[in-house]
Amino acid sequence: MEKRELTCIGCPMGCQITVELEAGEVISVTGNTCGIGDKYARNEVTHPERTVTSTSVVLGGDKPRVSVKTANNIPKDKIADVMKEIDAAVVTAPVHIGDIVVKDVCGTGVDVVATRNVEAV
């Protein structure tokens, strides 16, 4: 049996939650004081996900960098790989909010999109 210790992010209480797993299946969630904690803990141990935000290089723009984000959550264990693709990306101005900077990043099915406008100069 596997035991995982988590801090709930649902509210400032920050309950210390213990999840017991057997062969990848959640057997018990303890330490939470409400339903939010239970849901958070189950998601977090079975398929943790994050949105990644960073910047990419822009050529010919009024700013040297454009801020970007993954348009949806990606699996947590892919964060480092996604960062490599974002760092390698170079786009040419103009770039506008929502424009795709990296398509289907690391095979996640999620695009990396611009989160601000950079005009051409």
Partner 1 sequence: MLNYDIVIVGGGPAGLAAAVAARDAGVDKILILERDKELGGILNQCIHNGFGLHTFKEELTGPEYAYRFIEKVLAADIEYKLNTMVMDISKDRVVTAMSKEDGMYQIKAGAVILAMGCRERPRGALNIPGYRPAGIFSAGTAQRLVNIEGYMPGREVVILGSGDIGLIMARRMTLEGAKVKVVAELMPYSGGLKRNIVQCLDDFGIPLKLSHTVVDIEGKEHLTAVTIAAVDNKGKPIPGTEERYTCDTLLLSCGLIPENELSRNAGVEMSPITSGPIVNESLETNIPGVFACGNVLHVHDLVDYVSEEALRAGQNAAKYVKGQLSEAKADIEIVATDGARYTVPSTINIGRMDDKLTVRFRVGAVYKDSYVSVYFDDERVMHNKKRIMAPGEMEQVILLKDKLAEKPGLKKITVKIENE
59 binds partner 1 per the rule CB under 8 A: no
67 binds partner 1 per the rule CB under 8 A: yes
Give me the phi and psi of 13, to 5 degrees please. -55, -45
**Euclidean distance between CA atoms 86 and 103, whole angstroms:** 10
CA angle at residue 99 from 90 to 103, to 5 degrees? 65
Cβ(108)–Cβ(86) under 8 Å? no
If the CB atoms of residues 62 and 104 are measured against partner 1, the closer one turns out to be 62
Residues 6+ apart with CB under 8 A from 12: none
**Euclidean distance between CA atoms 54 and 47, whole angstroms:** 22
CA angle at residue 76 from 23 to 100, to 5 degrees? 140
69 binds partner 1 per the rule CB under 8 A: yes
13 binds partner 1 per the rule CB under 8 A: yes
If the CB atoms of residues 22 and 120 are measured against partner 1, the closer one turns out to be 120
Name the one range near partner 1 by CB under 8 A: 18-26, 48-56, 102-110.
Answer: 48-56
116 binds partner 1 per the rule CB under 8 A: yes
Q: Pick one of 21, 36, 63, 94: the residue that binds partner 1 (CB under 8 A).
A: 63
9 binds partner 1 per the rule CB under 8 A: yes
In the complex, the residues that contact partner 1 under the rule CB under 8 A are 6-14, 33, 50-55, 57, 63-65, 67-69, 76, 79, 83, 87, 97, 115-117
